[in-house]
Amino acid sequence: MNQTQQQVEQLIQSRYKAGFYTDIESETVGAGLNEEVIAMISARKSEPAWMLEWRLKAYHHWLGMTPPNWAKLSIPAIDFQDMHYYSAPKQKDRPTSLDEVDPKLLETFDKLGVPLHERARLAGVAVDAVFDSVSVGTTFQKELREAGVIFCSFSEAVQEHPELVREYLGSVVPYRDNYFACLNSAVFSDGSFVWIPEGTRCPMELSTYFRINARDTGQFERTLIVAEAGSEVSYLEGCTAPMRDENQLHAAVVALLAKKASKIKYSTVQNWYPGGENGKAGIYNFVTKRGDCREDDARISWTQVETGSAITWKYPSCILRGDRSSGEFHSVALTHNRQQADTGTKMIHLGKNTTSKIIAKGISAGHSQNSYRGLVRVAKRAEGARNYTQCDSLLIGKTCGAHTFPYIESANRTARIEHEATTSRIGEDQLFYCRSRGLDEEEAVALIVDGFCKEVFKELPMEFAVEAKALLEISLEGAVG
Amino acid sequence: MLNIKDLHVTVGGEEIIKGLNLSVGAGEMHAIMGPNGSGKSTLGYALSGRDGYEVTSGSVQFDGRDLLELEIEQRAAAGLFLALQYPVEIPGVNNAYFLRAALNAQRKARGESEIDSMAFLKTVRAELAQLKMDEALLKRAVNEGFSGGEKKRNEIVQLAVLQPKLAILDETDSGLDIDALKLVAEGVNRLRDGKRSFIVITHYQRLLDYLKPDHVHVLSDGRIVESGDRSLAGRLEREGYAFLEPGEA
């Protein structure tokens, strides 16, 4: 290896800017999973009895399940008895304002570019910050309350709005749904809860920032967004974790429920620690995300930029129940070094004249494997359903892989389903062209990749689009050469 | 400006340039003609530093520097520009954005400040108007869906904005109709300020009629076999390249 190559390798190793660790005293529930642990989590959160019952039902169901093995992923065996299911920074019970929050926690989010204190708050974006198993604080609560919007941590929602939580919990993603969703149902710790009242357009972007900090701890968050008839909300999610020597599990459930003519837009920039260059450590990201367009003319749109995690298993889906409801999925999934991603979507057309659109962009570099897996299903009664899928893969270098697994099932003759797929390599001619005009190799790769992702980036809110672009550039450092 | 001495270039293990000497002074325009496969495009790529065009021996001095020591983008920043015979498409990358990124990268490498957006747009728009190009091309992706002629004219827009010290035009006239050819030639002539140098690679005298180069060279089998003034181009047009190798003719 020559000197420049070594420098490039060093760059890759240091590219994960969120890899720091916050030294803070935590209360962690002992390793292992059993009824007692679940009861303890529920007790810590002073949950009502029905909540604990639901958790235990999920746990017992989970015991009889086996991990899914159909994805194109090589997943090392996970010892579920060897990890911790709850870890929370020690602090006063439920701080009533950010003044009572440990400054170290505020500092952590500051460093991650998500300031929570009054002066530096992100303009026009309300943030719920989740640190390991608990929510640290939610900004702009007062302003949102005035609009009738509920935006709080899931734990708080269980206390303050039990009737809403009870009504919708498990109604989009039942606890039986799949192995990881079921595990989450048993042990979920925190997450965000959003409720938008009828006819209300949420006055600002809502956002949750998830941070894993503790060692050997899984993060199991749960987010539930309910949009009443005619309402509208845009929600952003960001995630990071310190660089660790061992793998950590993140198994989240996100459920969106869109009622009549409402609109939910959900964007994710996922930047969990991807592991080292040789595939050592990193986050296992097994996530269930589902949106239910339960009534007519409802619209749900998923946008995701996935650059982190050692393994990503994630298929944000839309169930298009209402007539004329529509689902969209815009995705950029980037894998480098030894990362593996198997990600895509499911569009289930049940209502008449439902429409869905899928734009999936996969970028593979290094020795990574990147798969798109997507299902478009049209039920018999879904007269006039339409789907358009575009699935593009970009390869950087010769040692990575890109795979596409489209599944199309149509039981209605009037359905129109289009699927386009391309695979290309960053061409030497493109690199030469850019460099001959003065851009260096990394600038050239970033520019070409940015162009490749353009259709997805334009779906992201402005601040996120800039962040996503920068993240992609950092993640690709040293990918060529 | 440019001084090439005994240049040898290998492509895929085969020697294509076999001892080429060429000296281009500041403000001069040199035309290089020659049959297919004689090494014309290889010369352009080798001077730009493209991977796969390996200089096995010889030297190239450019504006007082050893050109062969520089990376591709460093050569660009030093003032070398190659207008490609087949300009490359970059999907999703806005044409104006690309050009500004390139210009700023060069300026940064030279220790200059970034160009003001307004000034940049003004320059680009003026150039587009002179080349009779639709301004909408600025918002389209680089060369994507451009016609052959639009791609070539887009190279001239880049040339005009990047303002290199030496521009190499690799068959910029091929595939152009007579009107487009004239526009391109006028675009190039506007950039002749007595300091900027040009190497024009072409098959046809037609472009040279408009450009009026100071010197014409004939490249054959990797070497310059004949040099002269503009009349040499006329002779080639009439007689073909057969006279170059009397031994085999």
Number of domains in chain B: 1
pLDDT of residue A11: 41
Q: What's the CA gap between B199 and B2, in Å, rounded?
A: 10
**Residue among A245, A206, A27, A281 nearest A132 (CA):** A27
pLDDT in tens, B200-220: 999 888 899 999 999 999 999
Examine residue B204 and state whether it is found in any structural domain, yes or no: yes
Whether residues A430 and B88 touch (CB distance < 8 A) is answered with yes
Whether residues A434 and B162 touch (CB distance < 8 A) is answered with no
For residues A309 and A280, is the Cβ–Cβ distance under 8 A?
no
CA-angle at A356, arms to A395 and A336, nearest 5°: 20
Whether residue A117 has pLDDT greater than 70: no
For residue A79, count other CB atoms closer than 10 A to its CB: 9
Q: What's the CA gap between A346 and A335, in Å, rounded?
A: 21
Dihedral angle computed from the Cα positions of residues A98, A99, A100 and A104, in that order, rounded to the nearest 10 degrees: 80
- The burial of A78, by beta-carbon neighbours within 10 Å (0-12 exposed, 13-18 middle, 19 or more buried), is given as middle
The residue with tokens 């994805």 is A71
Residue A345 pairs with which residues in a beta bridge? Answer: A374
For residues B137 and B150, is the Cβ–Cβ distance under 8 A?
yes
Whether residues A438 and B73 touch (CB distance < 8 A) is answered with yes
Q: What's the CA gap between A248 and A217, in Å, rounded?
A: 7
Residue A420 pairs with which residues in a beta bridge? Answer: A390
Whether residues B98 and A447 touch (CB distance < 8 A) is answered with yes
> Which chain A residues are Cβ-neighbours of B84 within 8 angstroms?
433, 436
- Among chain A residues, the shortest Cα distance to B108 is held by A438
Work out whether strand A205-211 and strand A232-240 pair parallel, antiparallel, or are unpaired: parallel
Q: A448: distance to nearest CA of chain B, Å? A: 7
pLDDT of residue A149: 94
Q: B123: distance to nearest CA of chain A, Å? A: 17
CATH number of the domain to which B123 belongs:
3.40.50.300
Q: What's the CA gap between B128 and B138, in Å, rounded?
A: 9
For residue A225, count other CB atoms closer than 10 A to its CB: 24
**Which domain covers residue B199, as residue numbers?**
2-244
Whether residues B76 and A435 touch (CB distance < 8 A) is answered with yes
Q: Amino acid identity, residue A34? A: N
Examine residue B249 and state whether it is found in any structural domain, yes or no: no
The two structure tokens encoding residue A298: 């409802």
pLDDT in tens, B83-101: 999 999 999 999 999 999 9
Q: What's the CA gap between A47 and A291, in Å, rounded?
A: 26
pLDDT of residue A51: 95
Give this prediction's pTM.
0.82
The CA distances from residue B139 to A393, B97, B136, B148, in Å, are: 24, 8, 6, 18
pLDDT of residue A133: 59
Q: How many CB pairs under 8 A join A and B?
A: 80
Mean pLDDT of A220-236: 94
**Residue among A275, A51, A299 nearest A170 (CA):** A51
Whether residues A439 and B71 touch (CB distance < 8 A) is answered with no
pLDDT of residue A128: 75
Q: B86: distance to nearest CA of chain A, Å? A: 10
CB contact A442 to B (< 8 Å): no
Helix orientation angle between A441-457 and B95-109, rounded to the nearest 10 degrees:
150
For residues A456 and B110, is the Cβ–Cβ distance under 8 A?
no
Whether residues B90 and A434 touch (CB distance < 8 A) is answered with yes
For residues B104 and B76, is the Cβ–Cβ distance under 8 A?
no
Whether residues A447 and B73 touch (CB distance < 8 A) is answered with no
CB contact B101 to A (< 8 Å): yes
Whether residues A439 and B102 touch (CB distance < 8 A) is answered with yes
> Which chain A residues are Cβ-neighbours of B105 within 8 angstroms?
437-440, 443
User: Closest to A452 (Cβ–Cβ): which among B92, B109, B142?
Assistant: B92
pLDDT in tens, A430-455: 999 999 999 998 899 889 988 998 88
Q: What's the CA gap between A152 and A144, in Å, rounded?
A: 10
Residues 7-26 of A with CB under 8 A from B: none
* Residues in CB range of A303: below 8 A, 6 or more apart: A265, A266, A267, A268, A329, A330, A331, A456, A459, A460
Percent of chain A exceeding pLDDT 90 equals 44
Whether residues A438 and B141 touch (CB distance < 8 A) is answered with no
Examine residue B110 and state whether it is found in any structural domain, yes or no: yes
Examine residue B223 and state whether it is found in any structural domain, yes or no: yes
Q: Residue A452 in 3-state DSSP?
A: helix
User: Closest to A439 (Cβ–Cβ): which among B52, B73, B87?
Assistant: B73
User: What's the alpha-carbon Rg for chain B, to the nearest Å?
Assistant: 18
